[in-house]
Amino acid sequence: MSICPKCKAEIDCLFWDRYPHQEGTLNLNKDGTTEIDEEFNTISMQEAPSIYSCPNCSKELTRDDEEAEEILKDKDELKEIVAKKLKKMEKENANNKRKNK
Ligand SMILES: [Zn+2]
């Protein structure tokens, strides 16, 4: 589980979007038919940036693949460290109680 930096909700995944983009003009031919012409500003699926957003608040968190990974990973590592420290403290407390008796 990770925490969304925007809404602080617990999230275990990120939404991923990628929009290919295509523009052109729709032209009317002399015979009355229409035709799309002059494609420009075309961004293919490969070129389009990935957009990662929170599944809870839908806010965009990053467009960077590595940063998206870190958002998910870092918090997990932090939680693991905290969990380990808590276990260690519990053990130490148990040991201290035994010693005090
Ligand atoms: Zn959120």
Residue corresponding to tokens 């909700």: 9
Residue ranges per structural domain of the chain = 2-100
Contact 48, 20 (CB under 8 A): yes
Q: How far is the CA of 77 from the centre of ligand 1 (A)?
A: 19
Task: Give per-residue burial for 55-68: e unless 16+ CB within 10 Å, then b.
Answer: eeeeeebbeeeeeb
Question: What is the pLDDT confidence band of residue 2, given thresholds at 50, 70 and 90?
Answer: confident
The DSSP code sequence of 22-43 is EEEEEEE-TTS-EEEEEEEEEE
Q: Is the pLDDT of residue 57 over 90?
A: yes
pLDDT tens for each residue of 58-101 = 999 999 999 999 888 865 566 667 778 888 988 988 888 877 66
CA 57 to chain CA centroid, nearest Å: 12
Q: Closest by alpha carbon to 61, among 100, 3, 19? A: 3
Tell me how long the chain is: 101
pLDDT tens for each residue of 25-34 = 899 999 999 9
Q: How far is the CA of 61 from the centre of ligand 1 (A)?
A: 8
Give the SS3 label for residue 21: strand
Q: Is the pLDDT of residue 15 over 80?
A: yes
Q: How far is the CA of 6 from the centre of ligand 1 (A)?
A: 5
Global pTM? Answer: 0.56
pLDDT for res 99: 72
Q: How far is the CA of 72 from the centre of ligand 1 (A)?
A: 13
Mean pLDDT of 35-53: 82
